[in-house]
Amino acid sequence: MKERIPTVALAWFAGLVLAVTTVSTATAGTMLDSGDEAPVFMLYSYNEPVATAVAGSNTPSLGNFLGVSPEEPRDAVLLVFLAGGGDTADELEMLARLQRKYSGWGRGLQVIVICVDAREADINDSLSGARSVNFPVLRDRFLVASDRYGVGRNDVPVGFLLVGERPNVALTPSQQAAIKDAYLGDSYHWTVRIVDRWRGGLLAQEETIVQGIETVLQP
C-alpha cells in the first residue's frame, strides 16, 4: 500500500508550482542559459489556427506547450526568438522540419517562435516566404517575454531547449488532480528548465540543435 501524502506536503508542493509564475526573470542585460528556470509567458499569435490547434488557445502560455496535464506532458520545447528579414524564412523552414521529425519522439517536441519585431510587417514577409510553418508564431512587439529571457532585438536569433521537471511524479493521478483543482485551477504549470541554448544564425547550427533535441528525447 502506498503511503498517504500529508496535506501539508501537498500544500507545499502547490506553493512551489505557483511560484513558477513569479520568478526566473533575467536581470537587465543577462540572457538566461542552461540550468536556469524558464520564465512563463502568454502572448498573442500571428498564425491563430496553428496556435489554437497546438495549444488550445490563441494566447497560449508556456504551460500550454509543455502540457498542463500531469498525465499528458510533452518531453521538450524548442523556443526560438526571431526577427523578420535576412535568413528568417529559411530558419522557419528549418524549424518546421524539426517539428515534423521530432513531434513523435518520446512524448514529443514542440517548436515555438517568438517574434521581437516592433511592426507586424517586418515578420509577415518572412512568414509568407516560409511555406510550411507548422508551429505557433507568437508576437512580442513590446519585448515582454524577451525581457524575461534576457533577449534583446539585437540578440536574435536565439534558441532555448526547455524541458519540464515533474516533481509530482510520486503522486497518484487522483492526488495530482486534487492539487490542480484545489490550489491551481487553470494556472497549473510545470516547473520548466533550460537545458541548452544557441545564439546566432540557426542554419549553421542545425546539426548541433538536432543533437541537443535527440539527447533530450532519447528514452
Reported as a single tens digit per residue, the pLDDT across 74-129 is 779 999 999 988 888 899 999 999 999 998 888 889 999 999 988 887 787 777 76
Within-domain flag for 141: yes
Residue 107 has a CB neighbour count (10 Å cut-off) of 16
pLDDT value of residue 29: 63
Average pLDDT over the chain, rounded to an integer: 77
Domain count, the chain: 1
| Residue type, position 184, single letter | L
| Residue type, position 67, single letter | G
Within-domain flag for 134: yes
Q: Between residues 15 and 64, which one has the greater pLDDT?
A: 64
- The yes-or-no verdict on residue 70 having pLDDT over 80 is no
Within-domain flag for 147: yes
Within-domain flag for 186: no
CA distance 143 to 148: 8
Within-domain flag for 137: yes
- Residue 179 makes CB contacts below 8 A (sequence gap 6+) with 10, 13, 14, 17, 168, 171
Q: How confident is the model at residue 27 (pLDDT cuts 50, 70, 90)?
A: low
Q: What grid cell was written down for 177? A: 488532480
CA distance 178 to 175: 5
Within-domain flag for 9: no
pLDDT value of residue 9: 40
- Residue 184 makes CB contacts below 8 A (sequence gap 6+) with 14, 17, 18
Within-domain flag for 62: yes
Residue 129's domain spans which residues?
28-166+192-217
| Strand, coil or helix: 146 | helix
Phi and psi, residue 149, nearest 5° = -95, 0
- The yes-or-no verdict on residue 51 having pLDDT over 70 is yes
If you search the block for the grid coordinates 523552414, which residue do you land on? 93
pLDDT value of residue 155: 95
| Strand, coil or helix: 61 | strand
> In this predicted structure, which of 48-57, 73-82, 159-168, 202-211 has the lowest mean pLDDT?
159-168
State CA 122 to chain mean position distance.
Answer: 23
Phi and psi, residue 198, nearest 5° = -130, 140
Q: Between residues 12 and 101, which one has the greater pLDDT?
A: 101
State CA 76 to chain mean position distance.
Answer: 8
What torsion, rounded to 10 degrees, do the Cα atoms 193, 77, 64, 27 define?
40
**CATH at 38:** 3.40.30.10
Within-domain flag for 178: no
Q: Rounded to the nearest 5 degrees, what angle is found at the Cα of 177, between the Cα atoms of 174 and 179?
A: 110
State pLDDT tens for residues 138-183: 999 999 999 999 999 999 999 999 987 654 445 556 665 665 554 4
